[in-house]
Amino acid sequence: MTELLPNYFGGQWSHGTGTGSTLVDPVLGTPLVRVDATGLDLAAGFAFARDTGGAALRALNYRERAALLGAAVKVLQANRDAYYEIATANSGTVKNDSAVDIDGGIFTLGTYAKLGESLGERHHLVDADMVRLGKDPLFQSQHVLVPTRGVALLINAFNFPSWGLWEKAAPALLSGVPVIVKPGTATAWLTQRMVQDVVNAGIFPPGALSIVCGSSAGLLDALQPLDVMSFTGSAETAHQVRLHAAVSQRSVRVNIEADSLNSAYLLPGEDASSAAFGLLVKEVAREMTVKSGQKCTAIRRVFVPEALYDAAAQAIGARLASTTVGNPRNESVRMGALVNRAQMTSVRQGLQQLQTQADTLYDGANTPLVDADPAIACCVGPTLLGARNADAADVVHAMEVFGPVATLLPYRSGTHALELIRRGQGSLVASIYGSDPQALADAALALADSHGRVHSISPDVAASQTGHGNVMPQSLHGGPGRAGGGEELGGLRALGFYHRRSAVQASTSVLSLLRTSDAAPTV
């Protein structure tokens, strides 16, 4: 039997009492470790985090909490090699793809450590200025933001075991709110190891950082009205979360990051020899293959002027053809595996559904695998589809295939392109490629209401742009509608989710004290 990883919950390490779920190497098929949460006293563990962890964090000011984040960064950096080994074994990712998750997570944590420093010695935040409530200038209203007296339950998807942890935990802990993280089971090992390293370093007060690995059963039942929950995963699971009594009856504040049909859009007026065309082609091929397309932000739909459909198909296909697929331990491999057989089956089935309405422009099905047994390894080659009739391709605008798959779609005019992009019903990100600044600005504003982020690429930023799919902590992550309606990151904006806003109505002298006070909460 493989090792059973312990949970850290209620201020102590404890093993589940069941046999648990076995995590598997998706390339070699070998069992790695097990996780299990059976038998944990959930009510007691949540109460410990809420009461002991919460009180200790709230007693610290923003700068002190930022210093704790900075100390956690140092611990994580010291253990990076172990994280890369776990990622290779459990996620089947090549080094560059593991970096997106591991170093991306540590960078995000470090960014919040710096941002928190700027908030100084305060224990609460003020929201804008005092406003008069009537003619009397003495009685006014001041909005304040104070950390919620609850726990933050963080439920994550399998594809970002490191970044998914820290992009949520950093703003929560900086806000003064204890976290309980439940990673996606398939890749829970990396999250567990990172939490273990930070806990063992004794950085955060007891109860501030807890981890439960394995089934989510009972976690939402333990939530109380002043707790918050941040969920990342599929639209289907998000639907169940919304229906749970914690949300529907106890009004637990919930942030949902779900799946998304992100777009890449080459503006009208560009031709196949333009720099913008080349930038789109490069980015699409990259987005399809990074982490084998298992990124919520990956480009799924590619919009080009109809005259450029064939040229784009040919150019993207040529790039995909140079992608070596297989065992991430082999240095020549550029793309590793999907996370497990269930995901491989799901990707193959999704591809078949898309192919009912789309042609296969570049077929990854027969890609030879390097150093990997096709009967065991969960590796699939990248596949570019295309639908000449973009209006009729309903499935392409509705179904996310969580793998190295994208669909090329031709448009007749700029208006037509925007209509087609909006059929994604709200997405995390759209990228726009062009050389006319006015046209880029107009398109960005036109897409801003249906996208949490618009990534605008012109030749002048070719070398400095941060990538369509890379989530930078300074910018908002989330999207309206189908993408879940959530908002994460965006610099200090992220702290809003973990604070309660209250309007204090009082005399100007009371409000002036409240605006400048550095005092810790008295109880």
Q: 236 catalytic, yes or no?
A: no
**Residue 399 corresponds to which tokens in the numbers above?**
């179904």
Asked whether position 167 contacts ligand NAP by CB under 6 A, the answer is: no
Determine the straight-line distance between the first and last CA of the chain, rounded to whole angstroms.
48
Task: Give the Cα separation of 139 and 378 in Å (integer).
Answer: 66
Asked whether position 16 contacts ligand NAP by CB under 6 A, the answer is: no
Q: To the nearest whole angstrom, how small is the minimum distance from the Cβ of residue 428 to ligand NAP?
A: 6
320 with 356: CB under 8 angstroms?
no
Q: To the nearest whole angstrom, how small is the minimum distance from the Cβ of residue 519 to ligand NAP?
A: 37
Q: To the nearest whole angstrom, how small is the minimum distance from the Cβ of residue 412 to ligand NAP?
A: 30
Q: Helix axis angle, 80-91 relative to 62-78, nearest 10°? A: 70
Q: How many CA atoms lie less than 13 Å away from 444 in the CB half-sphere?
A: 14
Among 97, 101, 259, 283, which residue interacts with ligand NAP (rule: CB under 6 A)? Answer: 259
Bridge partners (DSSP) of residue 503 are 143
Q: Which CB sits closer to ligand NAP, 216 or 431?
A: 216
Among 97, 227, 257, 487, which residue interacts with ligand NAP (rule: CB under 6 A)? Answer: 257
173 with 180: CB under 8 angstroms?
no
Among 52, 196, 234, 355, which residue interacts with ligand NAP (rule: CB under 6 A)? Answer: 234
Task: Give the Cα separation of 257 and 399 in Å (integer).
Answer: 16
Q: Dihedrals φ, ψ of 116, to 5°?
A: -65, -35
Asked whether position 222 contacts ligand NAP by CB under 6 A, the answer is: no
- Single out the catalytic residue among 257, 270, 283, 400: 257
Asked whether position 36 contacts ligand NAP by CB under 6 A, the answer is: no
Q: How many residues does the chain have?
A: 523
Count residues binding ligand NAP (CB under 6 A).
26
Asked whether position 255 contacts ligand NAP by CB under 6 A, the answer is: no
Among 7, 93, 156, 427, which residue interacts with ligand NAP (rule: CB under 6 A)? Answer: 156
Tally of CB atoms within 10 A around 445: 10
Tally of CB atoms within 10 A around 371: 14
- Single out the catalytic residue among 213, 296, 378, 379: 296
Q: To the nearest whole angstrom, how small is the minimum distance from the Cβ of residue 383 to ligand NAP?
A: 18
Helix H, strand E, coil C: the string for 305-329 is EHHHHHHHHHHHHHHHHCCCEECCC
Q: To the nearest whole angstrom, how small is the minimum distance from the Cβ of residue 46 to ligand NAP?
A: 15
Asked whether position 429 contacts ligand NAP by CB under 6 A, the answer is: no
Among 216, 289, 323, 327, which residue interacts with ligand NAP (rule: CB under 6 A)? Answer: 216
Q: To the nearest whole angstrom, how small is the minimum distance from the Cβ of residue 294 to ligand NAP?
A: 8
Nearest to 176 by CA among 273, 64, 100: 64
**CA dist 330 → 49, 53, 78, 408 (Å):** 43, 44, 25, 31
Asked whether position 453 contacts ligand NAP by CB under 6 A, the answer is: no
Q: Where does 48-164 show beta strands of DSSP type E?
A: 125-132, 139-147, 152-155
CA 449 to chain centre: 20
Q: 213 catalytic, yes or no?
A: no
Bridge partners (DSSP) of residue 489 are 476
Asked whether position 405 contacts ligand NAP by CB under 6 A, the answer is: no
Bridge partners (DSSP) of residue 304 are 410
Site string (79-118) toward ligand NAP, x via CB under 6 A: ----------------------------------------
Name the one range near ligand NAP by CB under 6 A: 82-90, 108-116, 231-239, 458-466: 231-239
Q: To the nearest whole angstrom, how small is the minimum distance from the Cβ of residue 288 to ligand NAP?
A: 15
Specify the amino acid at residue 218.
G
Asked whether position 158 contacts ligand NAP by CB under 6 A, the answer is: yes
Bridge partners (DSSP) of residue 433 are 266, 457
Task: Give the Cα separation of 383 and 385 in Å (integer).
Answer: 6
Q: To the nearest whole angstrom, how small is the minimum distance from the Cβ of residue 169 to ligand NAP?
A: 15
Q: Which CB sits closer to ligand NAP, 260 or 456?
A: 260
Name the one range near ligand NAP by CB under 6 A: 54-62, 157-165, 367-375, 508-516: 157-165
SS3 169: helix
Asked whether position 152 contacts ligand NAP by CB under 6 A, the answer is: no
Among 76, 276, 351, 428, which residue interacts with ligand NAP (rule: CB under 6 A)? Answer: 428
Nearest to 402 by CA among 347, 352, 449: 347
Q: Which CB sits closer to ligand NAP, 157 or 443?
A: 157
Q: To the nearest whole angstrom, how small is the minimum distance from the Cβ of residue 33 to ligand NAP?
A: 15
Q: Which CB sits closer to ligand NAP, 216 or 450?
A: 216
Asked whether position 296 contacts ligand NAP by CB under 6 A, the answer is: yes
Asked whether position 22 contacts ligand NAP by CB under 6 A, the answer is: no
**CA dist 22 → 154, 171, 186 (Å):** 22, 31, 8
SS3 410: strand
- Residues at the interface with ligand NAP (CB under 6 A): 155-160, 182, 184-185, 215-216, 232-234, 237, 240-241, 257-260, 296, 400, 402, 428, 484
Q: Which residues are catalytic?
A: 257, 296
